[in-house]
Amino acid sequence: MPTHPLYAVVPAAGIGTRMESEIPKQYLTINNFPIIHYSLTTLIEHPEIEKIVVVLHPQDHWFSELLIANHPKVKVVIGGGERADSVLNGINALPEQGRVLVHDAARPCLTRDDLVKLIAAWKPQHGAILANEVRDTMKRGALDRTIVETVPREQLYHALTPQLFELGLLRETLTAALAQHQVITDEASAMEWASHPVQLVIGRSDNIKVTRPEDLQLAQLFLTQQGRIGQGEV
């Protein structure tokens, strides 16, 4: 048994209204497999990850119909009102100690190499997240969508997932942040609020989150380039 056993939590309780779809975006298909299949496969195939908790909406009836839902590494719990609530529910279904990766259900293009790089960057009492350096010119806009100012892009990063933390520390931090009604947009933001250091690990730019309809074709292109289109169930 490793000194710091490794687990994963995959929040999948969102509805994804921007996809303009009748079903949650994680169940839209790419080459006959739902997005969440690809998101989970990379985690399942990593030998260090012992358990993956998938956090579902109370009315979710899609996940149980998937073959991947029966994988012995996969466990299901019900989520909360916001992402942070769902992640905390997932963490509370795991043992007290270890490491936990949190990965978006709608981020199907995570590669094994990026996952290995992230795990290698973890240190006790620290967090580590995959991130991309901002390449475009950044603008701050007003409510009417006119430009207020150009924001220097130096030292700006797009936060990606997975995000990796000490399990007990993340549980404690999320619990405290939610109790104080903090706005938690990702797990790293909770750690920042509590002044815990988080390492930026530069990941691949094809690790996209499927949010809008056009993202689905882009994800299919990236999965094809990665050689993952057509792979069978794990």
Domain CATH code at residue 86: 3.90.550.10
Nearest to 206 by CA among 98, 102, 110, 96: 110
> Within a domain: residue 124?
yes
Give the per-residue pLDDT at 18: 55
Domain count, the chain: 1
For residues 164-170, average pLDDT: 96
Q: Is residue 214 in a domain?
A: yes
- Which token pair is 215? 């993202």
Any domain includes 1: no
198-202 and 127-133 beta bridge pairing: parallel
Per the DSSP assignment, residues forming a β-bridge with 10 are 54
State both tokens at 106: 């709608």
- E strand spans, the chain: 6-12, 29-30, 33-34, 49-56, 74-78, 99-102, 127-133, 138-141, 147-151, 157-166, 198-202
- Residue 230, in any domain of the structure: no
Structure tokens at 78: 């019900």
Query: Sorting pLDDT into bands at 50, 70 and 90, what band is 49?
Result: very high
pLDDT at 232: 47
Q: For 99-120, write each residue's pLDDT tens digit.
A: 999 999 999 999 999 999 999 9
Mean pLDDT of the chain: 92
Tell me the per-residue pLDDT of 65-84, one tens digit each, with 9 for 90 and over: 999 999 999 999 999 989 99
In a domain? residue 232:
no
- Asked if the structure places residue 149 within a domain, the reply is yes
Run of H or E residues at 85: helix 83-92
pTM for the structure as a whole: 0.92
pLDDT at 1: 40
User: 229: pLDDT confidence band, cut at 50, 70 and 90?
Assistant: confident
- pLDDT class of 185 with cuts at 50, 70, 90: very high
Domain that holds residue 182: 6-225
